[in-house]
Amino acid sequence: MKKDIILSGVGGQGILSIATVIGYAAIDSGLSMKQAEVHGMSQRGGDVQSHLRISDREVCSDLIPFGGADMILSIEPMESLRYLPYLSSDGWVITNSTPFNNISNYPEMDDVKKEIAKIRNHILIDADDIAKNIGSPMSMNMVMIGAASDHLGIDFEKLEKGIRFIFGRKGDEVVNKNLEALKAGREFAGNFLKK
Amino acid sequence: MLLLGDEALAQGAIDAGMSGMYAYPGTPSTEIMEYVQRSKTAAEKNIHRKWSANEKTAAESALGMSYAGKRSMCAMKHVGLNVAADCFMNSSITGANGGTIVTVADDPSMHSSQNEQDSRNYGKFALVPTFEPSNQQECYDMAFHAFEMSEKYQVPILMRLTTRLSHSRSGVLPKQTMDQNGLKLPEDKRQFVLLPAIARKRYKMLLANQEKFEQESETSPFNSYYEGSDKTTGIIACGIAYNYLMENYVGSECPYPVLKISQYPLPRKHIEKITSECDTVLVLEEGSPMVEEMLKGYLGNCLKVRGRLDGSLPRDGELNPNLVLQAVTGKSPSVLSVPQIVAARPPKFCNGCGHIDAYNALIEVMKEYGEGHVLADIGCYTLAALPPFQAINSCVDMGASITMAKGAADAGMFPAIAVIGDSTFTHSGMTGLLDAVIENTNMVVMILDNSTTGMTGGQDSHAVDRLVSICEGLGVHKDHITRVVPLKKNHDEMVKLISQEINYKGLSVIIPTRECMQTLKRKTKANK
């Protein structure tokens, strides 16, 4: 088993909380992992990415090779496209559909959606909206993990355990909202693929 | 333990009995000190863990702790070693007493830097043993090994990391922890006195140790030789490049002999073996073609060497698994391309940042004088080089804004404006300001004070509450040191002030002061 995942978004959106939860669940499942992230300049509203590698063998490179990623998990739609050279031919693009528009030349959303639709395996999910509906806009990232959960090669229960561990010190209410977000994301993805 | 490379090294140093950590923030090295500062063990063991004013003061303090017999480490980004180089180069001659490690995190591809210099060259230059971990576990283990070797040969050790290891997380197995050394001054009380007569003697000792350092590299657990059946090519893989090579052989064997190098000077016996048994040697190294150049020699007429110099690999930028695969096998996968609609998303000022208001005022004033008069520095405020501001004309090295503006003013440029941040000012701006005080140079220095070291994530700034008294103390006339609050509502006041000080024939300092939005947000959150 090997899952190479590109996490992407915009500096400040918090892609690292996704890496932390999945990483915890992977280690808890007895898998090896490496996770390379970007610090410094680009964290100021620029494009950011993280390479998350999970395997039942030793992971060598900290970076995912081009054409090798099993998934691009993006919390911003245009950013999901920036990393397509990393995607393997049967890889998944799972992306939030709410744009983070902090540039003057952001493309038309319809064009972005068209490009995403060209990828055979894709899930487009309005994670911001789903998180708002359960009364926890901050849990958007957990909605995204939920949407990806069937393709991570990790048991759903382990992801739940990861959320309990990571958010535990913030109290039960925060933990439960994030667990709810995880489930909501998974449910949406299931329905999306049935369409 | 799941740790970044930076954190694994910090944990290793703590567990190996380090008594003091010294550093100035700089991507990708910042997390080393931050980890020590967060560590409960470090607090319990009372390990020194405060930021230093700059890399030179950090390196000197770490050397001082070594003088007193205790284990110390200083950490910096690659360009920080230029600042600390005076201490570093000479400390190779003074040698160490307590074990001491100079950790430098290089940034090939310049993700967050002005250049991509390769610090291994400094290790070779100073003739000190250099470690280059290939993974997080080695980061941890090498701290033990480096302290031990530093004490065995009384020599500082250079530890070289690169961005992708510094900022990549993986599992690390900890070892049995060691106690800190007690206070113990050097046996030879003249060891650290680099008067020519003593320095010559110490230098000969350093030279005499080179052979022993080579032997250490030959027996090092971090350097390994893997036999291979196909001797047409031998591969030398340094540091993290080893991972990129092995990535292409997961579940299979690399057919070529491979020499993994993570400790320098080069292990001579291994080098002799691989060069004698293989027709061609391919060198994979992150940064400059240092090993490749050494093997090739100036004329390049004795050994077939491939690498960054013959185009097998790009001459600049960081390596990755694909570049290495291409160099080894000539293969590259067909990949999807980035759709044309994807727009660049450069970094920018945070919403509400005080720098925006300060620059808006400066831009308005400068309309009268035209472009090209603003010499700036290194920090978040460098982002004003990008649209829509395009307000600054230089970013060279820490502190260079003030001294370059002075030089330009000396040349007759008017107005001459320097823009520098508060932390950069106390790092290396103060001495330049003194030069300007002595000549009462006709220039305006704007110290944009956000009361933190912002670009690296909001570390404590030595400048907090001290800027006015520092400027006064250096001799700037107090009528020409003015603090303002950079807010939209104060725009007219700032415009008037900047114009007025430009027209004053002499040195002025303007200090727009408002806390960084990121640190403010963090504090507000913590107080909730």
Q: Where are the domains of chain B?
A: 2-219, 224-329, 354-522
> Which tokens is B397 given?
């090295």
Question: In terms of DSSP bridges, do strands B2-4 and B168-171 run parallel, antiparallel, or are they unpaired?
Answer: antiparallel
How far is residue B18's CA from residue A194's CA, in Å, rounded to a whole number? 58
* Tens digits of residue pLDDT in B279-319: 999 999 999 999 999 999 888 877 899 999 999 999 999 99
A85 with B336: Cβ contact below 8 A? yes
B459 close contact with A: CB closer than 8 A: no
How far is residue B526's CA from residue B100's CA, in Å, rounded to a whole number? 36
CATH number of B354-522: 3.40.50.970
Fold matches, B2-219 and B354-522:
yes
- Check residue B427 and report its DSSP letter: I
How far is residue B18's CA from residue A109's CA, in Å, rounded to a whole number? 54
Task: Say what the pLDDT of residue B454 is.
Answer: 92
Q: Domain B224-329 belongs to what topology?
A: Rossmann fold (3.40.50)
* Tokens 């007219």, residue located: B492
A111 close contact with B: CB closer than 8 A: yes
Task: Identify which of A50, A52, A53 has the alpha carbon closest to the alpha carbon of residue A2.
Answer: A53
Q: Helix, strand or coil for residue B412?
A: coil
Residue ranges of domains in chain A, CATH in brackets: 2-99+109-194 (3.40.920.10)
* Tens digits of residue pLDDT in B33-62: 999 999 999 999 999 999 999 999 999 999
* Tens digits of residue pLDDT in B102-135: 999 999 999 999 999 999 999 999 999 999 999 9
Q: What are phi and psi of B232, to 5 degrees?
A: -65, -35
B27 with A84: Cβ contact below 8 A? no
User: Per-residue confidence at B528, pLDDT binned at 50, 70, 90?
Assistant: confident
Is there a contact between B365 and B460 (Cβ–Cβ < 8 Å)?
no
Closest-CA distance, A86 to chain B, in angstroms, reads: 7
Is there a contact between B156 and B45 (Cβ–Cβ < 8 Å)?
no
Task: Identify which of A98, A111, A59, A85 has the alpha carbon closest to the alpha carbon of residue A6.
Answer: A85
Task: Classify residue A71 as exposed, middle or buried by CB count within 10 Å of its CB (0-12, 13-18, 19+).
Answer: buried
Query: Which of A32, A39, A65 is facing B27, going by the closest CB pair?
Result: A39
Q: Is the Cα dihedral B364, B370, B371, B375 positive or negative? A: negative
A42 close contact with B: CB closer than 8 A: yes
pLDDT at B521 exceeding the cut of 80: yes
Task: Classify residue B351 as exposed, middle or buried by CB count within 10 Å of its CB (0-12, 13-18, 19+).
Answer: exposed
Chain B nearest-CA residue for A119? B336
A55: left (phi over 0), alpha (psi -120 to 50) or beta: beta
A28 close contact with B: CB closer than 8 A: no
Closest-CA distance, A115 to chain B, in angstroms, reads: 7
How far from each other are the two terminal CA atoms of chain B, in whole angstroms? 30
Contacts with A57 from chain B: Cβ below 8 Å: 250-251
* Tens digits of residue pLDDT in A44-103: 788 999 999 999 999 999 999 999 999 999 999 999 999 999 999 999 999 999 999 999
* Tens digits of residue pLDDT in B270-289: 999 999 999 999 999 999 99
Q: Helix, strand or coil for residue A90?
A: strand
Architecture of the B2-219 domain: 3-Layer(aba) Sandwich (3.40)
Residues sharing a CB contact under 8 Å with residue B37, sequence separation 6 or more, in sequence order: B49
Task: Say what the pLDDT of residue B439 is.
Answer: 98
Contacts with B321 from chain A: Cβ below 8 Å: 61, 63-65, 68
Average pLDDT, chain B: 97
Q: What pTM value is reported for the model? A: 0.96
How far is residue B328's CA from residue B214's CA, in Å, rounded to a whole number? 28
Task: Say what the pLDDT of residue A42 is.
Answer: 66
Complex ipTM:
0.94
A43 with B165: Cβ contact below 8 A? no
Query: Which of A34, A68, A108 is facing B169, going by the closest CB pair?
Result: A34
Task: Identify which of B151, B185, B207 has the alpha carbon closest to the alpha carbon of residue B69.
Answer: B185
Closest-CA distance, B383 to chain A, in angstroms, reads: 9
Q: Helix, strand or coil for residue B255?
A: coil
* Tens digits of residue pLDDT in B473-517: 999 999 999 999 999 999 999 999 999 999 999 999 999 999 999
How far is residue A25's CA from residue A187's CA, in Å, rounded to a whole number? 20
How far CA A41 is from CA of B141, B250, B349, B350, in Å, comes to 30, 34, 11, 12
How far CA B228 is from CA of B16, B242, B256, B278, B325, in Å, comes to 36, 15, 4, 10, 17
Residues sharing a CB contact under 8 Å with residue B265, sequence separation 6 or more, in sequence order: B124, B129, B130, B210, B213, B214, B217
The single-letter code of the amino acid at A163 is I
